[in-house]
Structure 1
Amino acid sequence: MRTLVDIPDEDIEKLDALAARSKRSRAAAIREAIRLYLLNTSGNDWIARGAGYWKHRDDIGDAVEYQRAMREDRSFD
């Protein structure tokens, strides 16, 4: 697919320099940038944002201790 995008001149200069250093075309550099952007902004990023969210709370107790207590109370009739 082809698309038209307005990019500031200073960014084009940097993009061209980057493309030249890596010996690829401007279009290839843009495709790679889009691919990396999509990989980094989709999927499971909510996991990373939420990891450790409650780690400083002392009012909810330890989850592992809670699970062990629940398992000990379980009866097998």
Structure 2
Amino acid sequence: MSRILIDIPEVQLAELTQLVEHQQRPRAMLIREAIAAYILQHKLEQGAEPFGLWKKKKPDGLAYQKELRAEW
């Protein structure tokens, strides 16, 4: 595990301290969980993007699909 040094506003540090005291868990653990949740959220958002043929036809993928199948 690597260590990093970050600067956060005093207000956020105070709120984090309250969470630490309330949950009786280490601050580092809460920060790691927050980072993991942030990464997961952004991975899901990126995964929701259309890919392949659909990417160029975002507005109406179903109409595009029917158009392609009509050629068969």
Counterpart of 2:46? 46
Q: Deviations over 1:12-69 (max 9, x none)?
A: 1111112223221111111111111122223x533435589414xxxxx812321331
1:4-15 → structure 2 map (5 Å cutoff): 4-15=5-16
SS in structure 1 of the partner of residue 8 of structure 2:
coil
Counterpart of 1:26? 27
Structure with greater helix share of residues: 2
TM-score (norm 2): 0.64
- The share of aligned pairs that are identical, in percent, is 31
Q: Give the gaps of 5 or more residues in structure 1.
A: 56-60, 72-77
TM-score (norm 1): 0.61
Aligned residues: 65
**Where has structure 1 moved over 6 Å in runs of 4 or more?**
none
Q: Which has the larger radius of gyration?
A: 1
